[in-house]
Amino acid sequence: MAYHLKEDDIELKMGDIDFSTFLFVGVCSIMTGYSLRAAMKLSEFIKNHGEVPIVWGGVQPSIIPELCLQKNYVDFVGLGYGEELIVEIARMLEGEMKPEKVAGLAYRSPNGECRIGEIRKLEKNLDCYHADYSLVDVNDYINNGTVLGVIMSSRGCPFNCAFCYNQYFSKRVWRAHSCEYVMRVLTELKEKYSFSEFSFSDDNFFVDNKRAIKILGMSHDLGLRVCSLDIKINNIKEDDIVKIGKYKVTSIFFGTESLNNDIIEYLGKEQTKDMVIDTLKKFSQLAPDVRVQTEILVGLTAEYTSDMKRDVADGIDLYNYNKNFSLYFGNLVPLPGTKMFELALSQNIGFKPSKLEDYVALDISNAHRMVDKWAILDSPKLDKKHLGYVERYSALLDMDRRNIIGFKKKIRHMFFKIACYRLKNWQFTFASLDFFFWKISVEISKLFGKFSGEK
């Protein structure tokens, strides 16, 4: 059985399970920050209720298996993708194989040393693998007729962004399911569950443009609308944008990361500021109903405070090029195994994670509190405070203001303008008052909407 757990769910959902009947427990989808903290809490909870072997897998354990195996609640670590690996782990635990014969397995030797097996070769034909949706309740992932986070048509990304886990996890190899496979999965889910929209969780949906457009067209013909997908703008064409609009895709996302061309080159993004602006204009002209979303990273290891201020101000200007646009400013989290992580270590200004708990601290929700460990700030204490405000005001920028009418629309537009002014001018004096009044306005608008019939 498969469980998708949040940290607060562990005791509630796991408390009545008899783990002694399990061959092993796999804990996966582990990144730095909160998901790693939840994995540690879950594994410790299970070990306190029995001696079942626990196997960790996912992005971060694959790059720091030695640190994971220092914990007595982690028995094995699976490296890389796990479809075939998990079968051999089961055979190993049933006594059919020895640990050293399992490719892609990290384990402790009898004397306690960490040993790492050779990395498994990737299966090029992804259609060999089929997700068993009967192991989860897909209804848990359906909200107002939209399925989120369940469907992935491809894996990996061939590009070389300096902050991305694909550098080491997928080795920049992109693999894709066939269009027929994707349609078969969608048809099966549509027959069993009630939904009209879904998202693709691919890292880069438009690596193969013809395949991407074909899948969007087939989904449209099936009566399903794609509500979200990720693209890279350096290989998107005008005809692709027209088709994205034609097939009524709700929104697309691409990473901008920076509008400073020197930093963009350093990041390996293979794009420019002009390309970002041109893409926004083309979506505005050719697919105006498609919401265009992007993100700019602040607190990069290669930029000074002045660079961040200019990037934020230039980001606000992007709203001039597309009315159906949404921007978010996010603080960088240096992920192990990436070029950005190695640079953060080399700058010798305090960033040196050495135990698993240090990676728990690398959480996107508190990155602004640690940014001085990897970024060159003019005034660390003040800049950390300001970067916290940048992220908070981003939430006001990122609000979906479409289809909002009356009082709510006026309130959201007012706070959007406040956020734009604050961010563009790097002016955060008495900023906490804005969020105090925002909280009050939300409650008032709820009451106003209840009495006026607004939604």
Q: What is the DSSP string of 418-454?
A: HHHHHHHHT--TTHHHHHHHHHHHHHHHHHHHHHHT-
Percent of the chain with pLDDT over 70: 96
Whether pLDDT at 230 is above 70:
yes
CB atoms within 10 A of CB 62: 25
How confident is the model over 26-60, as pLDDT tens digits? 999 888 999 999 999 999 999 988 889 999 999 99
Q: DSSP H helical segments within 15-84, as ranges? A: 34-47, 59-63, 65-68
Instruction: Say whether pLDDT at 389 is over 60.
Output: yes
- How far is C-alpha 144 from the geometric centre of its chain's CA atoms? 22
pLDDT of residue 397: 87
The C-alpha atoms of residue 387 and residue 397 are separated, in whole angstroms, by 15
pLDDT band at 104 (very low <50, low <70, confident <90, very high): very high
Give pLDDT, residue 455.
47
Above 80 in pLDDT, residue 174?
yes
* pLDDT tens digits along 409-426: 788 889 999 999 999 999
When mean pLDDT is compared over 114-123, 207-216, 264-273, 377-386, the highest value belongs to 207-216
Confidence at residue 406, expressed as pLDDT on a 0 to 100 scale: 65
Contact present, 139 and 148 (Cβ < 8 Å):
no
Element (H, E) at 228: strand 225-230
- Indicate the DSSP class of residue 122: P
Q: What is the pLDDT of residue 353?
A: 94
Kindly give the pairing relationship between strand 142-143 and strand 146-151.
antiparallel
Task: Look at residue 451 in the predicted model and tell me its pLDDT.
Answer: 46
Q: What does the alpha-carbon distance between residue 102 and residue 98 come to, in Å, rounded to a whole number? A: 7
Q: Cβ distance 205 to 231 under 8 Å?
A: yes
Given pLDDT bands bounded at 50, 70 and 90, which one contains residue 453?
Answer: very low
Q: What is the mean pLDDT of residues 362-384?
A: 91
Round to whole Å and give the CA distance between 337 and 168: 6
User: Binning pLDDT at 50, 70 and 90, where does residue 401 land?
Assistant: low
Q: Which of 138-142, 287-291, 340-344 has the highest mean pLDDT?
A: 287-291
Candidates 3.40.50.1220, 3.30.413.10, 3.40.50.280, 3.10.20.740; CATH matching 7-116: 3.40.50.280
In 10 A of CB 102, how many CB atoms? 21
Residue ranges covered by each domain of the chain: 7-116
User: What mean pLDDT value characterizes the chain?
Assistant: 91
Q: What is the pLDDT of residue 29?
A: 82
State pLDDT tens for residues 296-336: 999 999 889 999 999 999 999 999 999 999 999 999 999 99
